[in-house]
Amino acid sequence: MSKRETPAAKNFIRQIIDEDLERGLNDGRVATRFPPEPNGCLHIGHVKSMCLNFGIAYDYGGTCNLRFDDTNPDAESPEYVAAIKDDVQWLGYEWTNLRFASDYFEELYGFAEELIRKGKAYVCDLNAEQIREYRGTLTEPGRDSPYRERSVEENLDLFRRMRAGEFTDGSRVLRAKIDMASPNINLRDPTLYRIRKGASHHQTGETWAIYPMYDFTHTLSDALEGITHSLCTLEFEDHRPLYDWFLDNIDVPSRPRQYEFGRLNLEYMVLSKRRLTELVEQGIVDGWDDPRMPTIAGIRRRGFPPEALRDFCARIGVTKSDGMVEMAMLENSVREALDAAAPRAMAVLNPLKVVIENYPEGERESLTAANHPKDDSFGERTVTFTREVYIDRDDFMEVPPNKKYKRLSLGGEVRLRNGYVIRCDEAIRDDNGEITELRCSYDPATLGANPEGRKVKGVIHWVSAEDGVPATIRLYDRLFNVPNPGADGDWKRDLNPDSLVTVEGVVEPSLARAEPGARFQFEREGYFCVDPHDSTPERPVFNRTITLRDTWEKISQREG
C-alpha cells in the first residue's frame, strides 16, 4: 500500500483482538473472512467490511478468506462470483483462501445429523405459514410444533429421506430444538435445512435436494475455517445467541467469536440491493456499472482510485452504531488521491474558437507542459500551439462583470496555460447574436515570461483547434438531490435530474491515446477518466470522476 495511506485507527474490534492476543487466545492467530452472497454486485458498504476484514489480517499478519455464502441456488450465479473476485482484487486485497460455503455441504450435513442424534434437532412438517404462526411475536411466546417430540430414529430417517429427494419443496424442514418461548425470536426453533429439489446450484449442480440456512451455515463455516473473529453488521447482533448455541451444541473444530459493527450508510446514496436493482431494471441508470452507482463496478468506471476507498474507510472508522456518513468525506478522499496520482491535461468542454490573427498561418509550435505541478516524476509533454485554438465559452465575457474577473474579455488579456498571452480584439456573432469566434492577437514575448509593463493575472486552458481531438465527455454528479433519499416519501422523487450531462468537447491529442480507465486532471475542470467500455482512440469518451472543489457545499451555503 502506498505511503500516504491513512493508518487504520484503533477501533473497538482491534482493541478486542489486541486483548485476545495478550491473553494468548487462539494460539496467537488472527483469522477473518469476508462472506458475500454471490447474488449481486458489491457496493461501497461492502468496501467497509472488506477494509475491516482484510485490513485486520494485513495489519496483524493474520489470514482473511474470501468465502462465498452460497446456500440459495435460485439467487446465485457464477457471474457474480467472478465479478466479486474482481472487485476484491481491484480494491487491493488478496484472500488467503477462496472458499464456498457449498464446499462444506457434506460436513454441514454431518453436523445436522449430530444435532439430531443429540436430540437437538427435529424434522417438522408444518408449512411456512404455520411455522410463522407458531413462532409467536415480539410480545407473545411461540408454541411448540406438534412434531417437536419425534424420536431420534424417526428424525434421522426423515432427514435422510429429505436428502434423498423423497419429499416435495416446502413439505418439511429440519429445525433446531431450542426454546419456543425465548424472548429472542431467533432461538425459537430456527430452521436449519429446507428442501429445494431440482434447483441447479452453481457449484454443486443437482447433488443436493436440501440446502442449509444462513445462520447454521455461516457459524459452522467459520468454525471449519478456524476463523477467530467473525465480523458482521449490527443487524446480526440478535443472531449471536444462535451462533453461540451452534458452537455449544456441535462438536466443532474451532470456536470463532462474532462481533458486530455499524453498517455504512452514505448521504445522497441508496445502498440496498433491492433499490439498486430497481435503478438498473427500470433503466434509471445504465446498468450495475453506471458511474453514478455506489457499486464497486460503478465506482471503478467513474474513476475512483482504490486507495481513495481504503483511505475513506480508514477515516470513517468502525463503531458499534449505524451512522450516516457525509458524501463530502468520500469525495475528499477521492480528490486527495487523485491530486497526487492524476497527471494534468487540457480539455475544453464547451469549445469556442479563437483565431490568433498575428500568428503565421500553417505554423505550429511544440510547447512544453508539466504533467504535474507538484511532482516532477510525472515528467513533461508537448502541446501544439497553432493559429486556431479552442477555449471554453465560460472563459469569455465581452464585458467583465467585476474587478475580480480574470478570464478573457473584449480588449482584455489572458494567458493560455503553458503558452502565450493573448488579447481579444473582436467577438464574431452569428445571426442569432451568439458568439461563434473570437479574433485575438498574441504577444510573442510572453512564452514563459511576464509581459512588459503590464500585469496579466488570468490563466485559462485551451486546445489546438487543428490538432485537438473531439471527445464525448460525461459530466456525472450525485445520483440523488438530498442527503437521505426517501426520507419524505418516494425515494425516486429525490433523484437528481442532472446527474448526467453529456457534452462534446475537444481534448489534447495525447489524451486520445490514453489507456481505458486512465485518470487525469483536466486543468481547471476536474478529474476525469477514460471510459473503459465506450472510449476508442477515434472517439474518446471521458467520465467526470469529480469536480475540483465541492460545488454542493456552495449550493447548500447559498440556500441555507
CA distance 44 to 306: 11
CB of 250 to ligand ATP, least distance (A): 22
Residue 273 within binding range of ligand ATP, rule CB under 6 A: yes
Instruction: Specify the DSSP class assigned to residue 339.
Output: H
DSSP 3-state assignment of 421? strand
> Least CB distance from residue 107 to ligand ATP, whole Å?
21
Distance CA 368, CA 79 (A): 47
Nearer residue to ligand ATP within complex by CB, 49 or 446: 49
Establish if 298 lies at the interface with ligand ATP (CB under 6 A).
no
Decide whether 36 or 291 has the Cβ nearer to ligand ATP.
Answer: 36
Site for ligand ATP, residues 77 to 116, rule: CB under 6 A? none
197 binds ligand ATP (CB under 6 A): no
Question: Closest approach of Cβ 36 to ligand ATP, in Å?
Answer: 4
Which helix (H) or strand (E) covers residue 188, if one does? none
What part of residues 373-412 is at the interface with ligand ATP (CB under 6 A)? none
User: 265 — alpha (psi -120 to 50), left (phi > 0) or beta?
Assistant: beta
Q: Which of 8, 30, 31, 45 binds ligand ATP (CB under 6 A)?
A: 45
Query: Would you say 48 or 302 has its CB closer to ligand ATP?
Result: 48
d(CA 276, CA 147): 41
Burial class (CB in 10 A: 0-12, 13-18, 19+), 283: exposed
Does position 272 bind ligand ATP by CB under 6 A?
Answer: yes
Among 14, 46, 302, 415, binds ligand ATP (CB under 6 A): 46
271 is a site residue for ligand ATP (CB under 6 A) = yes
Site size with ligand ATP, rule: CB under 6 A: 14
Q: How far is the CB of 539 from ligand ATP (least distance, A)?
A: 36
For residue 180, what are the contacts with CB-CB under 8 A and spacing of at least 6? 134, 135, 136, 141, 142, 143, 144, 145, 188, 189
Q: Give the residue from 479, 167, 527, 543 showing the smallest Cα distance to 336.
A: 527
Pairwise CA distance, residues 320 & 525, whole Å: 39
Task: Answer whether 546's CB lies under 8 Å from 474's CB.
Answer: no
Q: Which of 20, 82, 93, 102 is nearest to 51 (CA)?
A: 93
Closest residue by Cα to residue 186 from 150, 236, 149, 145: 236
CB-nearer residue toward ligand ATP: 38 or 412: 38
To ligand ATP, the closest distance from the beta carbon of 169 in angstroms equals 23
Q: Does 202 bind ligand ATP (CB under 6 A)?
A: no
Q: Which stretch binds ligand ATP (CB under 6 A): 44-52, 140-148, 277-285, 297-305?
A: 44-52
Q: What are the cell numbers at 48?
A: 467497509
For residues 190 and 540, which CB has a smaller minimum distance to ligand ATP in the complex? Answer: 190
Name which of residues 133 to 192 contact ligand ATP (CB under 6 A).
none
Strand ranges inside 371-462, DSSP E: 380-386, 388-392, 396-397, 408-409, 413-416, 421-429, 435-443, 459-460
The distance of closest approach from Cβ of residue 339 to ligand ATP in the complex, given in angstroms and rounded to an integer, is 27
Burial of 223 (0-12, 13-18, 19+ CB in 10 A): buried
Site string for ligand ATP, 438-477 (x = CB under 6 A): ----------------------------------------
Task: For the CB of residue 20, give the shortest distance to ligand ATP in the complex, in Å.
Answer: 20
CB of 175 to ligand ATP, least distance (A): 23
State how far the Cα of 52 lies from the Cα of 32, in Å rounded to an integer: 9
Q: Which stretch binds ligand ATP (CB under 6 A): 41-49, 195-203, 282-290, 380-388?
A: 41-49
Closest CB to ligand ATP among 200 and 272?
A: 272
Distance of closest approach, residue 246 Cβ to ligand ATP, in angstroms: 18
Active site residues: 37, 263, 273
CA distance 541 to 267: 28
| Closest to 337 in 3D by CA, of 378, 377, 308 | 308
In the complex, what is the shortest distance from the CB of residue 306 to ligand ATP, in angstroms, rounded to a whole number?
A: 17
Residue nearest to ligand ATP (CB): 45
294: contact with ligand ATP by CB under 6 A = no
* CA dist., res. 502 & res. 2, Å (int): 34
Q: Which of 17, 26, 31, 49 binds ligand ATP (CB under 6 A)?
A: 49
Binding flag, residue 35, ligand ATP (CB under 6 A): yes
* CB-CB contact of 342 with 521 (8 Å): yes
Our finding on whether 519 is near ligand ATP (CB under 6 A) is no
Question: C-alpha grid cell for residue 9?
Answer: 485507527
Check: CB of residue 233 under 8 Å from CB of residue 262: yes
DSSP 143-165: ---TTTT--HHHHHHHHHHHHTT
241/343 with CB nearer ligand ATP: 241
x/- binding map, residues 488-507, to ligand ATP, per CB under 6 A? Answer: --------------------
Of 465, 444, 475, nearest to 542 (Cα)?
475
- Selected from 8, 51, 112, 232, the binder of ligand ATP by CB under 6 A is 232
d(Cα 301, Cα 285) in Å, to the nearest integer? 13
Beta carbons within 8 Å of 487's beta carbon, 6+ residues apart:
none
Closest CB to ligand ATP among residues 264, 341: 264
Q: Is residue 264 within the footprint of ligand ATP (CB under 6 A)? A: yes
Nearer to ligand ATP, 68 or 542 (CB): 68
37 scored as a contact of ligand ATP (CB under 6 A): yes
Selected range binding ligand ATP among 42-50, 86-94, 100-108, 146-154, rule: CB under 6 A: 42-50
Q: Which is nearer to ligand ATP, 274 or 454 (CB)?
A: 274
- Which residues contact ligand ATP by CB under 6 A? 35-37, 45-46, 48-49, 232-233, 263-264, 271-273
